Structure 1
Amino acid sequence: MLASQASGGSRSTGSVLLNGSTPAQALLLTENAALTNGPPLLLQRLSLKEREEVLKEGQRRVVYRGKMLFSQGTPHDGIFLIESGRIRVFYIAPSGREITLAYWHAGNFVGGPELFGQGTHVWSGVAAANSVVLHLSGKALRGLITRIPALSFGLIEGLTFKGKCYSALAQMLGTRSVTERLAHLLLHLCDAYGVEEGGKVVIGTALTHADLAHMVGATRQWVTISLKRLQAQGVLSAEKSKIVVHEIETLQALRGGS
């Protein structure tokens, strides 16, 4: 279930964790523009020496695409700080239906809301791309925050951001139709990954129809049919590895319920 650990501990670390100061990137379904830039980096408030101390306490793990990092219902022990790659966090209902909570990139931590190794995981995390993470056990984390108070602020800021994200997702699921949510997600992807070419916007991220379905709370079949309908209307072109949006205004109207 857990990916294999990289040998050599945590000596080789990414520049994002040591030197990054810009917001960490995240992909999530929200109407709050303030959340689209992602949270502050967990170690942003720390000095270089303090960051190095945190990284020495962790164990690096290489998680290959499609491999589980942690699973819903399994015992919890600490958090995972993403050094590189992308981790998808999701929840599976008793019926088997799945909803993506967010995609988290380098500089974010996953494995909450518990921090210190109590209880069980309430959702799952899987590598959406080949990733390297730093596991900080609950015991190590307790010791670190007593020695490095600034780390506590980073953890609180991260948990606050995630709480806002999941609240925004619940609001979207409860107040927007599936069609509105799909239009909103496509527009968000245009902003985050789109490249303008000749009056069109090419979305380069390789999300499958199943990925889109898990984000908007629909089935893969529904997303496929909806994209084909939008393609027939000339709104977009859905190819295997990319989506080309021809009519941004139409998607904006659909997002607003028109």
Structure 2
Amino acid sequence: MMHLGGNGSQLSAALAAGSDNVVPLKALNDRPFNKFLSPLNDLETRLVTSLGRQDTFKKGELVFRQGMLHSGLHIIKKGGVRTFFVSPGGREITLAYWVSGDFVGTPEVFGRGKHLWSGMATDNTEAYYLTGEQLQELAVQMPKFALVLIDVLVAKGKCFSRLIHTLGTKNACARLAHTLLLMCSPDDKPDSSGMRSSSLTHDQLASTIGVSRQWVSASLREFESEGLLKLEKKKITIVDYEGLKQRSF
């Protein structure tokens, strides 16, 4: 593992001459992982990941906690992370679900301030951790990486803007339908049968749209009776995508 020094000289030398001390390219060919790093060339991508510490988190383990000092970001390699906010009164709301290729730990980037919300692994998760100092030096020494960080923050801003619009302008049924459509699959593509599935629990859906678990369960049964979806033990399968889309307005 390569660590970035205080003046970025190691990074400059590696970019100028290439480096053998980097993650093999074949380990980084997964396109979902590269969705934000795609502007970088092969060497730059491998260098960024090699600078980072490789962390693993078990399902349900906190990646970072609301209120703790910010020190850097994680780039998810495998698995997923749910970000959520807990109010002073103890009420919890899910902000988003992040998957392979996403950066988690924003909006702070360079290791300043405190985390505004928490992040928890939704599955057994692997991620690269870059400190605020490393991120800042990468941004200075590698302009394309600075653009990557901007793209990440733009995507986060759009995500939270959609959340605000959904909570502020849609009724609870429309919010539930909207959330199911967003979460039905990571790449938003149907399976071979033309159906789309989500493994979100009723508790997770309730936390995301700001209602009780009991209300979610009753509403899902109503959607099922209308032929919009099928409820299974650990999966919700969308049967009528267009019909559910109409319920999201």
User: Fold-level match, TM-score > 0.5?
Assistant: yes
Which residue in the other structure is 2:14 paired with?
A: none
Q: How far is 1:92 from its partner?
A: 1.4
Q: Secondary structure at the match of 1:134?
A: strand
Deviations 1:170-207 (A, max 9, x none): 0110000010011122333457264364xx7352x321
Native 8 Å contact 1:16 1:83 kept in 2: no
CA contact (8 A) 1:82 1:106 kept: yes
Shift of 1:243: 2.1
The code of the aligned residue for 1:227 comes to L
Counterpart mapping for 1:3-14 below 5 A:
13=23
Aligned counterparts, 1:102-141, within 5 A? 102-141=96-135
Equivalent residue in structure 2 for 1:157, among 143, 146, 151: 151
* Identical-residue share of aligned pairs (%): 38
Question: For residue 195 of structure 2, what is the aligned residue in structure 1?
Answer: 201
Matches within 5 A, 1:21-32: 22=31
* Residue 61 in structure 1 maps to residue 59 in structure 2: no
How far did residue 251 of structure 1 move?
A: 2.4
| Range 8-17 or range 183-192, more displaced | 8-17
Q: How does 1:239-250 map to 2 (within 5 A)?
A: 239-250=232-243
Structure 1 position 15, deviation (Å): 6.2
Q: Residues of 1 paired with 2:171 and 2:26: CA distance?
A: 38
CA spacing shift, 1:16–1:89, aligned 2, 3 Å: farther
**TM-score normalized by the length of structure 1:** 0.79
In structure 1, C-alpha distance between the alignment counterparts of 2:63 and 2:50, rounded to whole Å: 20
Q: What is the CA distance between 1:220 and its match in structure 2?
A: 1.4
Counterpart of 1:214 (choices 207, 217, 227) is 207
More moved, 109-118 vs 88-97:
88-97
Deviation at 1:147, TM superposition (A): 1.6
Partners of 1:86 and 1:106 within 8 A in 2:
yes
Match of 1:223 in 2: 216
Distance across 2 between alignment mates of 1:16 and 1:135:
20
Provide the C-alpha distance between the structure 1 equivalents of 2:214 and 2:189, rounded to a whole number of angstroms.
24
Query: Does the CA-based 8 Å contact 2:81-2:122 persist in structure 1?
Result: yes
The equivalent of 2:65 in structure 1 is 71
Contact 2:61 2:120 (8 Å CA) reproduced: yes
Post-superposition offset of 1:231: 3.0
- Aligned residue for 2:94, secondary structure, equals strand
Report the aligned-residue RMSD. Answer: 2.6
Which deviates further from its counterpart, 135-144 or 40-49? 40-49
User: How many Å apart are 1:74 and its aligned residue?
Assistant: 0.6
Measure the CA separation in 2 of the matches of 1:9 and 1:65: 28
- Distance in 2 of aligned mates of 1:176 and 1:92: 22
Deviation at 1:161, TM superposition (A): 1.1
Cα pair 1:68 1:127 within 8 Å, conserved: yes
Q: How many angstroms apart in 2 are the aligned matches of 1:195 and 1:215?
A: 24
- What is the CA–CA distance in structure 2 between the aligned matches of 1:16 and 1:80, rounded to whole Å? 21
Offset of 1:14 from its aligned partner?
Answer: 8.3
Unpaired runs of 5+ residues, structure 1, are 1-7, 25-39
**In structure 2, what residue type is equivalent to 1:56?**
S
Q: CA deviation at 1:248?
A: 4.1
- Taking a change above 3 Å as real, the CA distance of residues 14 and 185 of structure 1, as seen in their structure-2 partners, is farther
**Residue number among 39, 45, 60 corresponding to 1:45 in the alignment:** 39
Listed one character per residue, the Cα deviations across residues 183-238 of structure 1 (whole Å, up to 9, x for unaligned) are 122333457264364xx7352x3211111112222221210121123334444331
Alignment TM-score, normalising by the size of structure 2: 0.81
User: d(CA) in 1 for partners of 2:29 and 2:239?
Assistant: 39
Unaligned stretches of 5+ residues in structure 2: 4-20
User: For the residues of structure 1 that align with 2:182 and 2:176, how far apart are their CA atoms?
Assistant: 10
Structure 1 residues 134 and 14: alpha-carbon distance in aligned structure 2, compared to 1, 3 A threshold: farther
